[in-house]
Chains A and B, each alone.
Chain A
């Protein structure tokens, strides 16, 4: 048995490890190196400039503005998404206990679950295109509804006061479905007896959710939090497609800044790599922080 083990390990571990090194680790390392050069991206020449790119970054108002927006996304997207996700999942799996013993979901739960999952099936590009039309100031769905009520709606994506929040809303909308399913699956793993016991003790739904469901789901919520936090630090595709950071940089995010610096209005690949390095460390710290803060005693269900 023993002599057959090593070839097995090698065949199964080396190829993925190699792929990982070539396509993940090496680009990261290269980005670190490029970020210390003035490389302009269209020739093989690059001069080392030390930390000059990072010094310039520190004084770049546009980068700070983008970071501020990312910070808002980081603070709000996970909260809203998880709150909606928990609410819908709870309703679907134990919302309908009206007058009956036992714990059941609302009527038509399977149907809702499918509908909530729709955005997850669509590509982000399609979501962006859909919402761009919904936000269309004259023929869009939103302003169409507002017109029926007799209100003339704002220009949504065309107004710096609303554009960013419009994108944020789409981000939450696009994510909720997945977390409904995720939380739903986790909830179904919680033993029914616990709920029946709380029910007998006369706990309200709110108490059940806060005292029983969430603590038992904590691992899942924590994972969701990290995923969403990382997604909030990115946000690139939606923003680029819906507003491209505008109007007047009001919906800019750090990913768009990086892309624009390298491929958009300039070809400063060295500077863009420096932005990328900053993003890397921000994402890493957020993930580590989220894991640390979220660490709790695991509850054993046995």
Chain B
């Protein structure tokens, strides 16, 4: 007899009144494992079925219905059923991942595949520290579905595994490959005879020219100012080397106040001081600011490579949006101008208590097949973590510039992951600091102080599990 049974019986006996507090406690947190329906599906492994999928096992997939929609997932599901005709797939899409799925995690009956993304994303730190995620290591070692002679791991772009790894365990499959940079319209620049600047001094000079032409040089997502933390940190990493990022990720003391971060913050303060930012920007959200940028009211915006598909409906024809790396601070930079932040994004996971873990892994193998990846790129105009999957796919203009930027960056590419380790640090604390900094209410020193204070508060919070990564 377990707690739930006790509760049922006592409720039936009408004893609920006095000891209710203690007994009812069983309801919200006491689920899982006792529902009697704990059947899991596991088939036998073979060369054709390396992950051991049970052929008739149903698979439940929950997709975040955001910028990419859900059609791409339906295509992946069709590919899965083509290989496993007896499997029934239950598909659903939502914009509220955490609210929809939290009770099911507690109850021990989560879906098999979850696309944990969007504003309602579940904090990964919480999931990982509660062992709620299945280890995806087996997937990496399995042979690719349609790239002969390679394991799934061999087909992935560099960095794809690291981003989803916690203490060396690969738990989160990030499907897209996102490049973060500064965006401009080549059409606007060609019309005006401007050229993207490679150093910071030239960038400021260019901003002056743009402002003189009656256009605001910059705008940003005023209500999500963390978008501007990306170019600042990128500038610092290019100036001081990748150890700048490692220190921030590992919550090292005063990581935010390193010389490189100081140099970067000082540099970026210039666009605030010289009023190079579109009036009213702090009151715009990401879509409003991106739309103002598409309408030619501002020349530069900081964003990731999802920008093109997000802005599809409002981008004028021939706008030709182009991504470019952050300008170098000077000759002393450790990384070349071409270095960009590239990282795997759009997280997918298999809950540890899913009934069909093997099916979930197999679904990922389908997504990471060349066919699956190409179909995704075609449907949503975004790169995947599968290397070379863009071959033979006609890409929209912005995405071709992303591919070019990635190629130019090559082995100099860099990334940071503190936003995955500690969601609150980027989403709340650094976000708030960026808002103050870029609206001109605080200077660079206070900005870094506020970021550092946020990082210190995370470091001091014993209820948050800490992760370390090596450079």
Instruction: List residues of chain A with CB under 8 Å of any chain B CB.
Output: 21, 25-26, 29-30, 32-34, 37-46, 135-138, 143, 152, 155-160, 243-244, 246-249, 260, 263-268, 271
Q: Does B120 belong to the interface (CB within 8 Å)?
A: yes
Give every chain A residue within 8 A of B16 (Cβ-Cβ).
21
CA A292 – CA B129 in complex, angstroms?
A: 48
Q: Decide yes or no: A44 and B24 within 8 Å by CB, A159-B439, A247-B435, A263-B99 being known contacts.
A: no
CB 8 Å contact bits of B273-288 with A (1 = contact, 0 = none): 0000011111110001
A/B interface sample: 23 pairs, CB < 8 A: A21-B16, A26-B24, A26-B27, A38-B463, A42-B127, A42-B132, A138-B280, A155-B282, A158-B222, A159-B282, A159-B439, A246-B431, A246-B432, A247-B222, A247-B282, A247-B432, A249-B432, A263-B99, A264-B427, A266-B423, A267-B122, A267-B123, A267-B125
Give every chain A residue within 8 A of B27 (Cβ-Cβ).
26, 30
CA A64 – CA B102 in complex, angstroms?
A: 28
Q: Decide yes or no: A267 and B126 within 8 Å by CB, A29-B21, A30-B28, A44-B30 being known contacts.
A: yes
The answer to whether B130 touches A155 (Cβ under 8 A) is: no
CA A26 – CA B46 in complex, angstroms?
A: 50
The answer to whether B279 touches A152 (Cβ under 8 A) is: yes
Tell me the nearest residue of chain A to B442, going by C-beta: A248
Residues in B453-471 with C-beta less than 8 Å from chain A = 463-464
Contact of B284 among A143, A158, A249, A263 (CB under 8 A): A158
The answer to whether B102 touches A260 (Cβ under 8 A) is: no
CA A157 – CA B431 in complex, angstroms?
A: 16
Q: Decide yes or no: A158 and B432 within 8 Å by CB, A43-B106, A266-B424 being known contacts.
A: no
The answer to whether A44 touches B33 (Cβ under 8 A) is: yes
The answer to whether B424 touches A265 (Cβ under 8 A) is: yes
Q: Does B428 belong to the interface (CB within 8 Å)?
A: yes
Contact of A159 among B283, B297, B428 (CB under 8 A): B283
The answer to whether A160 touches B441 (Cβ under 8 A) is: yes
Give every chain A residue within 8 A of B424 (Cβ-Cβ).
265-266
Q: Does B22 belong to the interface (CB within 8 Å)?
A: yes
CA A32 – CA B279 in complex, angstroms?
A: 47
Tell me the nearest residue of chain A to B34, going by C-beta: A44
Give every chain A residue within 8 A of B281 (Cβ-Cβ).
137, 155, 158
Q: Does B443 belong to the interface (CB within 8 Å)?
A: no
Give every chain B residue within 8 A of A158 (Cβ-Cβ).
222-223, 280-284, 439
Q: Decide yes or no: A43 and B21 within 8 Å by CB, A30-B27, A266-B424 being known contacts.
A: no
Q: Does B436 belong to the interface (CB within 8 Å)?
A: yes
Q: Does B25 belong to the interface (CB within 8 Å)?
A: yes
The answer to whether A247 touches B130 (Cβ under 8 A) is: no
Tell me the nearest residue of chain A to B425, going by C-beta: A265
Q: Decide yes or no: A43 and B280 within 8 Å by CB, A26-B20, A30-B25, A160-B441 being known contacts.
A: no
Q: Does B105 belong to the interface (CB within 8 Å)?
A: yes
Give every chain A residue within 8 A of B25 (Cβ-Cβ).
30, 33-34
The answer to whether B126 touches A41 (Cβ under 8 A) is: yes
Give every chain B residue within 8 A of A244 (Cβ-Cβ).
223
Give every chain A residue within 8 A of B288 (Cβ-Cβ).
136
The answer to whether B435 touches A44 (Cβ under 8 A) is: no
Residues in B281-309 with C-beta less than 8 Å from chain A = 281-284, 288, 292, 297
CA A243 – CA B223 in complex, angstroms?
A: 8
Tell me the nearest residue of chain B to A48, going by C-beta: B25
Q: Shortest CB–CB separation between residue B295 and chain A, in angstroms?
A: 10
CA A137 – CA B464 in complex, angstroms?
A: 38
CA A271 – CA B461 in complex, angstroms?
A: 12
CA A38 – CA B433 in complex, angstroms?
A: 29
The answer to whether A33 touches B24 (Cβ under 8 A) is: yes
CA A271 – CA B102 in complex, angstroms?
A: 16
Q: Does B32 belong to the interface (CB within 8 Å)?
A: yes
CA A25 – CA B27 in complex, angstroms?
A: 13
The answer to whether B284 touches A137 (Cβ under 8 A) is: yes
CA A21 – CA B30 in complex, angstroms?
A: 19
Q: Decide yes or no: A268 and B463 within 8 Å by CB, A34-B28, A42-B126, A155-B280 being known contacts.
A: yes
The answer to whether A43 touches B99 (Cβ under 8 A) is: no
The answer to whether A34 touches B29 (Cβ under 8 A) is: yes
Tell me the nearest residue of chain A to B297, going by C-beta: A138
Give every chain B residue within 8 A of A152 (Cβ-Cβ).
279
Q: Shortest CB–CB separation between residue A54 and chain B, in angstroms?
A: 14
- The 6 lowest CB-CB distance pairs between A and B, nearest first, are A137-B280, A158-B283, A267-B126, A158-B282, A155-B283, A265-B424
CA A39 – CA B126 in complex, angstroms?
A: 10
Q: Shortest CB–CB separation between residue A266 and chain B, in angstroms?
A: 5
Q: Does B98 belong to the interface (CB within 8 Å)?
A: yes
Contact of B131 among A41, A43, A159, A248 (CB under 8 A): A43
